[in-house]
Amino acid sequence: MNLVDAIAKLQSQLQQIQVKEEQNQQEQATINQTIQELEQTIQQQYQRQSELDREAIELYRQAEEIKVKLAKLAKIAAFSQQFQVLKAECQDNQELLQTLYSALPIPLAQDTLTGVFKDHNFSEQKTFVEQQQTEELIFNLASDQHNSEDSFLTIEKIKAALPHAESIYKQMVVRYLDQYQTYQNFIIDELDLIWCSLAFVAFGRSSYRKLSLKHHPDLDGSQRAMQLINAAWEISQDYLTHSNDTVKN
């Protein structure tokens, strides 16, 4: 083989290599673009998931309000029906009528007994029943809330459920320093932003929903508390995502 043929052969091999390099670069670019699109899609799904969580909390709150109102109305209706029955039974008997109204805690003047079943007097009785039922419902709700708070999230429970919680806490303070400084002097249920994030890491979405419901601005909570809770949830999800990536790698 002479020198000219050798040069031509090498040039041909070089051209083939260049073509393959271009194909390789194009394929890498396509793959990178696909990865970016998938990451964007995943981010959008995370955002949508957070929106659905907030929507679920709001729907749960509305449902609880409606249940309370229904229970109140049902009790009022039951009392009203019972009172109507007693009214009919006592209509022609002054002695029974006196017994009926003496059993009520509202003092009635003696001279009002004759016309006690007039519409305005009966409305006053129903108003009293409504007040009594409202106070009873408020007491029950307060008792339920107190009982639930007794067994709610604490740092001790987080440490028990999450190994090396204190070490993770220090790492997260450094990693999410900007967010930590934003809420540094704000605490809910003895939890700062990072401990709240660790609670979500340890106990998952149910703890986020319970804490959000407890501190919702429409349920004796505050806007600031909800901001901290939402920020803690985002931190917990980002931490879990990076932790899973580290394990995979």
> What is the 8-class DSSP label of residue 152?
S
What are the structure tokens assigned to 100, written together?
Answer: 């009926």
The fraction of the chain above a pLDDT of 70, given in percent, is: 71
The yes-or-no verdict on residue 33 having pLDDT over 90 is yes
What is the pLDDT averaged over residues 30-45?
91
Pair of tokens at residue 13: 């091999």
pTM: 0.44
Q: How high is the pLDDT of residue 93?
A: 61
Q: Is residue 198 within 8 Å of residue 156, measured between CB atoms? A: no
Contact present, 90 and 100 (Cβ < 8 Å): yes
Mean pLDDT of 183-190: 87
Phi-psi region of 248 (alpha: psi -120 to 50; beta: other; left: phi over 0): alpha
| Residue 222 neighbours by CB under 8 Å, 6+ apart | 215
HSE (CB half, 13 Å, CA atoms) of 204?
Answer: 1
Which of 29-33, 172-176, 221-225, 240-244 is least confident? 240-244
Paired with 136 in beta bridges are none
Q: What SS3 state is found at 113?
A: coil
Q: Is 215 in contact with 225 (CB distance < 8 Å)?
A: yes
Cβ atoms of 104 and 129 closer than 8 Å: no
